[in-house]
Structure 1
Amino acid sequence: MTPARVGVFGLLGSGNLGNDGSLEAVLGYLRAAHPEAAVDALCGGPEVVETRYGIPATRLHWYRGEYRTASRAGAVAAKGLGKLVDAVRTAAWVRRHDVVIVPGMGVLEATLPLRPWGFPYSLFLLCATGRLFGTRVALVGVGADAISDRPTRALVRWSARLAAYRSYRDALSRDAMRAMGVDTVRDEVYPDLAFALPTPGAASGPAGEPGRVCVGVMAFHGGNDDRARAEEIHRRYLDGTTRFVRALVEDGRPVRLLTGDEVDRTVVDAILDAVDSPLVTAAEAASLADLMKEAAAADTVVATRYHNLVCALKAGTPTLALSYAAKSEALMDRMGLDAYCHPAREVDADRLLEQFRALEKRSAELRQTLTERNQDAARRLEDQFTALTAALFPATDHAHTHALREAP
């Protein structure tokens, strides 16, 4: 038998730690269960993916300015041409593979600003050409949400329909796809793929000082339907978060600022400027493993980005969510901390501080709850990878089963 040709697809290597963590989890699965597979990527940051994960990678978009606003005629024309070129490039790449995996990520949602001709168009090209050439496309542990913009909703719906396999990171995602007209009868829900990653030990040195609180921040401007209020939402979020950090410092608590994407650095800088104190420091996290180390060394975590929450919960640290979407609330509910959510659009520093203190009073109890929920998540993800093998590598799965039966 020739080795399976497996592609991974998405905005990977582009600065978002959550996306890269999902890739890392899937690569770990492939290397353990299908070490003979030839794996490569079509992704946003091929140089990073090749260097960090050791697999060949191709740039997702022909036009390098794809995610920059095009105002001049030349840039608009280049973007338009890029859409045509990408259709050909994507088809050629898909045709070379037996299987393509989209690892996690919120690829079926628009909870952050998103244009239909951006990633939704790219995902549609992938799924359509996969169906055309008989390449099995799998959306594995992905996030989804109701989408009001009609072109974006249509592209997302058809992408999901054309995929050969779908699973979701929460029940809300599956329900959203069902509401958008996708048959989800065979689709399963599993924990986020990042829960399959190893749990590192706590960070050492100054980052592990007693009483430390990790505050995960985000360059948050609202969602896809909030473009008219984006700056107002951002100012309110930044002001509330800054006031909360200042209150912690006044109580003598060391604060460690975390990010999950390169764009979040502006928020970190703004808080450091506003709260001029040696008690406030910023972490230089390059992976979800780094974020987990930071969270494991903290007494408590307060975080906005979804995968900041995942890392803190997986590290077993009591966590309060600054929630910007239903996916955060679903995650907190799954992990037994549904009472500790605060709206990111309306950060009230005084109310947030009350919730924070209530969370800390139950710290020991919640750490035990998180231990139990993490064990369950690990078992469920073993089921996810078993199901993925059966769906995408049936010949390999049959041979593996036969070998087990023949073993003495």
Structure 2
Amino acid sequence: MTSADETPLRVGVFGLLGSGNLGNDGSLEAVLGYLRAEHPRAVVDALCGGPEAVTARFKIPATRLHWYRGEYRTASRAGAIAGKGLGKLVDVFRTAAWVRRHDVVIVPGMGVLEATLPLRPWGFPYSLFLLCASGRLLRTPVALVGVGAAEIGNRPTRALVRWSARLAAYRSYRDTQSRDAMRAMGVDTARDEVHPDLAFALPTPTPRASGPAGSPGPVCVGVMDFHGGNDDRARADEIYRRYLDGTIRFVRALVEEGRPVRLLTGDECDASVVAAILDAVGSPLVTAAEPASLADLMSEMAAADAVVAVRYHNLICALKTGTPVLALSYAAKSDALMERMGLGAYCHPAREVDADRLLEQFRDLEKHAAQLRRTLTERNRTAAQQLARQFTALTMTLFPAPGHAHAHAGAHTHARQEAP
């Protein structure tokens, strides 16, 4: 805590925030909640993908992550290619200048050390490397808090991610598998800790009233514009078609049983999948929500009998509300999350959706719903306690005693990091 006559700490938050991904923004919301509760005088701003959205929702100043506005559009013309190349150079100086203005920079959660979805090395991995290198050079601690990681095959991406992690002053992970992946990629993780995903620190909304007694409750189906990961580019269309066809068959089977189905998204790009399912099934029992936050997702799921979901943070929302959930798993992180929360038996591969098998698993999920809800109550209590310890550790590491903030932060940075 700072006293009234001291200069407030300047804290930066960094990532693909405000870009339409509800999970990323949920992680930011959790960290901002921690900062406002424990360090209310800290001055916070963001370097992020969607600065206007971040400022509008979270009421903090925000700067665009990339100088070149067409960063995430495919560059085919010479002008666009030149613009992207120049942007990479300009971003070196922009990132360093932004880091210099802060006492601490936090990367709040997200899968910043993984490539389980399609990812180019000179996109976000390059931006993260610039951040962490600037932090080391300018003696501003960069903290990777509750992040996800996975082993990466692509050599340029792997190198950028490995050096980003090595240059960070603080690292913690959202599951043991993430820490193991960084160790396998050559990062010393001996002092890195594992805590539940930051989204488990968000408040749980009050459940909405259920429907008439005896009537089947709604089933929430979280969807995703899923084409596989970095290693699946050659068969991306096949993976998408198999996933979509299997999901449509599953939803249609529920409708034939008279079950209301509520389609949920986790990113703006998922809207096309919702439209395809609505068109294929064509039933008034199938409706679509338009969630704008993880709180909206949790409100929907709290009113459901059960959930089937793909996106990682959709799974977290269901688990946090205590609603039995079946994971359409596209990465090991989903399997690890479900195992940790006591639902490891309820995973189904998103790349090979078998509607008949999925229905069998779903019926078994509902059969054991009461028991699973009790398990989730216990696991959520444990997760809350573990996250409280995470935030205590973060305060001790990044927010030293008043009067010595910058000097102590710099000293701890060099004690904490391995040599380059």
TM-score by length of structure 2 reads 0.93
Letter paired with 2:100? R
| Aligned residue identity for 1:54 | K
Aligned equivalent of 2:217:
211
1:238 corresponds, among 236, 244, 248, to: 244
2:318 counterpart of 1:312: yes
Output one character per residue of 1:199-220: Cα deviation in whole Å (capped at 9) or x when no partner: 0022458899842100000000
Once the 2 structures are TM-superposed, how far is the Cα of residue 337 of structure 1 from its aligned partner?
Answer: 0.1
Which residue is 1:200 aligned to?
205
Report the counterpart of residue 221 of structure 1 in structure 2. Answer: 227
Q: Distance in 2 between matches of 1:303 and 1:358?
A: 16
Is 1:117–2:122 an aligned residue pair?
A: yes
Equivalent residues, number: 399
Amino acid at match of 2:104: V
Is contact 1:207-1:294 (8 Å) kept? Answer: no
Q: Which residue among 392, 395, 413 is the counterpart of 1:386?
A: 392
Separation in structure 1 between the aligned mates of residue 283 and residue 157 of structure 2, nearest angstrom: 44
Aligned to 2:283: 277
Match of 2:344, as an amino acid? Answer: D
CA distance in 2, matches of 1:206, 1:58: 45
Change (3 A) 1:9 1:233: same
Q: Percent identity?
A: 82
Of residues 5, 8, 12, the one that matches 1:3 is: 8
State the one-letter code of the partner of 1:300. A
Structure 1 distance, partners of 2:303, 2:243, is 26
Q: Is the 8 A contact 2:305 2:323 kept in 1?
A: yes
Q: Match of 2:19? A: 14
Aligned-residue CA RMSD in angstroms? 1.6
Pair 1:353–1:150, CA change in 2 (3 A): same
Greater RCO, 1 or 2 (C-alpha within 8 Å, sep 6+): 2
Q: Could you say what secondary structure the match of 1:226 adopts?
A: helix
State the 1:395 CA deviation. 1.3
2:301 counterpart residue number: 295
Q: Conserved in 2, the CA contact under 8 Å of 1:195 and 1:378? A: yes
For the residue of structure 2 that corresponds to 1:117, the secondary structure is coil
- Report the AA paired with residue 148 of structure 2: G
1:373 to 366, 370, 379: 379
| Distance across 2 between alignment mates of 1:232 and 1:219 | 13
Residue 86 of structure 2 aligns with an amino acid whose one-letter code is L
3-state DSSP of counterpart to 1:147: coil
User: Using a 3 Å threshold, how does the CA distance of structure 1 residues 155 and 381 change in structure 2: closer, same or farther?
Assistant: same
**Which range moves more in the overlay, 258-267 or 210-219?**
210-219
Assess if the C-alpha contact under 8 Å between 1:390 and 1:397 holds in 2.
no
Paired position in structure 2 for 1:38: 43
**Which residue of structure 1 lines up, in the alignment, with residue 183 of structure 2?**
178
Distance 2:69 2:21 in 1: 18
Alignment of 1:305-384 (within 5 A): 305-384=311-390
Residues 211 and 217 in structure 2, CA contact (< 8 A), matched pair in contact too: no
Structure 1 stretches of 5 or more lacking a match? 400-408
In the alignment, structure 1 residue 53 sits paired with structure 2 residue 58: yes
Letter in 2 for 1:122: S
Please give the alpha-carbon distance, in whole angstroms, between the structure 2 residues aligned to 1:205 and 1:356.
20
Distance change (3 Å), C-alpha of 1:104 and 1:85: same
How many angstroms apart in 1 are the aligned matches of 2:247 and 2:402?
A: 50
Kindly report which structure 2 residues correspond to 1:247-262, keeping only aligned pairs within 5 A, or say none.
247-262=253-268
| Cα distance in 1 between the residues matched to 2:325 and 2:249 | 19
Name the counterpart of 1:402.
none
Q: Whole-Å Cα distance in 1 between the matches of residues 220 and 50 of structure 2?
A: 28
1:293-349 per-position Cα deviation (integer Å, ceiling 9, x unaligned): 001000000000000000000010000000000000000001000000000000000
CA–CA distance in 1 between the matches of 2:208 and 2:74?
A: 39
Amino acid at match of 1:385: F
Query: What are the Cα deviations for residues 193-245 of structure 1, in whole angstroms up to 9, with x where unaligned?
Result: 00000000224588998421000000000000100100000000000000000
User: How far has the Cα of 1:261 moved from its partner?
Assistant: 0.1
Question: Could you tell me which of 165, 168, 176 is aligned with 2:170?
Answer: 165
